[in-house]
């Protein structure tokens, strides 16, 4: 999957990789039964793709994979795919979303709660990002810059620990957990310009060791 994102980004194409997760999550192993062991996956279905190096605006991505710049109605480009990738890797690892939708009275409240969880797990967004916000983006923040929504008192480290316990997965040594969190943090940054590119992630220590 990382290679496919790398290809799309190299070709200046924004592609919703969440589609692969949607196709396989309910039927694990179904692709192997369909294509056999001597075939390879084909990257296709570009109906929702965007091409070119220009930045875009507007709502994209399923909410649980939505990048912060999309939530905040800021211009977005190929780095939204990297945010998707980080969210999907977490989902593949633990079978649950890192930023799930809360049960709320309306979509705006659900958006604010999801955004508040991002702040809780990733830390507050940089001031430079807040300075560029549109009136829509300002709806997510109080006057003091804190998030308006409600979220559990958790950190990325505590969510990893609870996810490992629930799934009975084992990251044998502390270094492995740290390598995984470093990979996730490289994909989930507030500022899209600080996100690692797909080609950079191909040589990430956690990817190299795991794949």
pLDDT digits (tens, 9 = 90+) for 4-29: 554 445 445 554 554 444 444 444 45
Judged against a pLDDT cut of 60, whether residue 66 lies above it is answered with yes
pLDDT digits (tens, 9 = 90+) for 104-139: 888 999 999 999 999 999 999 998 888 878 787 888
Which one has a higher pLDDT value, 86 or 48?
Answer: 86
DSSP codes of every residue in the chain: -HHHHHHHHHTTEE--THHHHHHHTTSTTHHHHHH-SS--------TT-EESSS-B-S--S-GGG--HHHHTT--B-THHHHHHHHHHHHHHHHSS-SSPPPP-SSHHHHHHHHHHHHHHHH-PPPHHHHHT--HHHHTTB-TTS-BSS---S--HHHHHHHHHHHHT----SHHHHHHHHHHHHHH--SSGGGSPPHHHHTT-HHHHHH-
pLDDT digits (tens, 9 = 90+) for 144-203: 878 999 888 899 999 999 988 887 776 766 788 899 999 999 999 999 999 999 999 999
> Where in the chain are the domains?
55-210
Domain covering 55-210 assigned CATH 3.60.70.12 in the classification: no
Judged against a pLDDT cut of 90, whether residue 41 lies above it is answered with no
Q: How confident is the model at residue 46 (pLDDT cuts 50, 70, 90)?
A: low
Claim: this prediction has a pTM higher than 0.85: no
């Amino acid at each position: 999957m990382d290679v496919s994102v790398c290809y799309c980004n190299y070709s200046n194409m924004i592609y919703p990789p969440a589609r692969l997760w949607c196709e396989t999550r309910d039927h694990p192993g179904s692709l192997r039964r369909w294509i056999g062991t001597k075939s390879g996956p084909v990257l296709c279905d570009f109906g929702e793709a965007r091409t070119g190096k220009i930045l875009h605006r507007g709502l994209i991505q399923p909410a649980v994979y939505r990048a912060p710049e999309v939530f905040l109605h800021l211009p977005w480009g190929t780095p939204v795919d990297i945010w998707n990738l980080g969210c999907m890797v977490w989902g593949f690892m633990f079978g649950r979303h890192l930023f799930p939708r809360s049960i709320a009275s309306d979509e705006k409240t659900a958006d604010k709660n999801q955004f508040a969880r991002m702040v809780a797990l990733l830390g507050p967004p940089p001031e430079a990002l807040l300075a560029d916000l549109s009136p829509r983006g300002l709806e997510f923040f109080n006057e003091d810059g804190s998030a308006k929504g409600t979220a559990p008192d958790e950190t990325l480290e505590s969510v990893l620990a609870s996810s490992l316990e629930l799934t009975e997965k084992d990251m044998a040594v502390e270094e492995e957990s740290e390598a995984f969190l470093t990979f996730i943090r490289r994909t989930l940054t507030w500022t899209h310009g600080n996100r690692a590119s797909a080609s950079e992630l191909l040589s990430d220590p956690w990817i190299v060791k795991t794949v």
